[in-house]
Structure 1
């Protein structure tokens, strides 16, 4: 790969645009050797069976090379196409809650080992591990733990494992080819409402069109909007761990809303 543009760094990884010998443009991330790039590559290949993602060209312990995504402006039509594709991806399903590869969200490891049902998986593999890493007061920790105890009662109707992105904020959706292209997944078998809640957390262009088209393709279970704070607990805890107390108030507001369900 011949580097042609330095795109800066993120989470300690160097990011570059490059050109291969055959003229193809690529995106490359490099950094200290770890399992994180292999995990991302596995997730992209898995999601790519059902939705638009970059092609994985190379995955090494110290570098990941993907096909370059040429971005364009989002449009209502592209948003609707993305919403339908997202539902198709979720419906493609998973063998269980979790994944057969190590999980990461940004540079933070996540436990992808299986659990019997989604409330248990979400509590023991997603929320509680990050609660132990967050620097919260004893009172805040106790409140989150009370919310966790309510997961079996407030999770809504049981659903089979969905094929989810797992870190679906707006920065991980690139608009290209008339639809949304997914990047940087924390992919695993999970609950499809998790991806919808993550999109709502930080917003997305034409989100109402995305959700409307999704609902036409595969309507979420009744009460899904009320459960959005439940599914936002994990990403908010991740942000508290990564960036500190600036996200504490958002987390505790979501906790209060879960406790009120």
Structure 2
């Protein structure tokens, strides 16, 4: 069934459809209607993403509103792009801190997810170091046998390097491309949520750049030793990029491993 017909099931009459740049999991389209524009995302895991967006919204995080959802199609509000603002960064920082301060009772997420062909096992574990080892680091030992001994050694050390208990709500893929400034304000988009240590998001925000001071004005002061753990958390997205995009990211993986003390 074509997209127009699928949208009609939600009572949406599409006057025009434009394909947008999307993520690894979904096709993304801007839909013109008689009442304005919407965004449609089509893919096998949009229902999971909708649940993530709604969970974030319940904690006051600025995310696009989910308007309609089916097994393979999600319609959200359109957020026309605008320039970043100091106030927007402050809002995002404050919202992220509120997410990270949540006590969900356990780590993980009710459903597994993925970054394209890279599966994300989100099953809870007994403690946070075990989750980071078993769910985020060791799965790559099979993909990269040359790195396996170093990944396995790191996994054995994590109980002494990471907090035992961490259950904050994470965006889960918080690079700069998933921070969206709009004429309606500043928003988080394309989450890959799970519960764990908030420093995971902070590390990702610093992987390919740095947020401005306004972000920290909203977020507040992180743990004084958070940078000691930053490379541990950056190693995971570095490994994801290595698997998705190839050897050009080998240097990033090596940098992360070399910075872990």
Instruction: Give me the whole-angstrom Cα distance separating, in 1, the residues matched to 2:169 and 2:25.
Output: 28
| Residue among 127, 132, 141 paired with 2:148 | 141
What's the counterpart of residue 115 of structure 2? Answer: 105
Structure number with higher relative contact order (C-alpha < 8 Å, ≥ 6 residues apart): 1
**What is the CA deviation profile of residues 9-44 of structure 1, one whole-angstrom value per residue up to 9, with x for unaligned ones?**
5437432101356x142111224xx3x211111111
CA RMSD after TM alignment: 2.1
Where structure 2 has 5 or more consecutive residues not aligned to the other structure, the ranges are 1-11
Query: After the TM superposition, which residues 36-75 of structure 1 pair with which residues of structure 2 at under 5 Å, given as runs?
Result: 36-50=45-59, 51-75=61-85
Kept after mapping to 1: 8 A contact 2:180/2:186: yes
Q: How many residues align?
A: 247
| Residue among 179, 186, 211 paired with 1:180 | 186
Query: After the TM superposition, which residues 18-33 of structure 1 pair with which residues of structure 2 at under 5 Å, given as runs?
Result: 18-20=31-33, 23-31=35-43
| Residue among 246, 255, 258 paired with 2:257 | 255
| Residue among 201, 210, 216 paired with 2:215 | 210
Partner SS, residue 150 of structure 1: helix
Instruction: Give me the whole-angstrom Cα distance separating, in 2, the residues matched to 1:64 and 1:108.
Output: 22
Instruction: Give me the whole-angstrom Cα distance separating, in 2, the residues matched to 1:160 and 1:243.
Output: 30
| Residue among 175, 197, 200 paired with 1:194 | 200
What's the counterpart of residue 4 of structure 1? Answer: 17
1:132 aligns to 2:130 (yes or no) = no
Give the structure-1-normalised TM-score.
Answer: 0.86
Partner SS, residue 247 of structure 1: helix
What's the counterpart of residue 169 of structure 2? Answer: 163
Give the structure-2-normalised TM-score.
Answer: 0.86
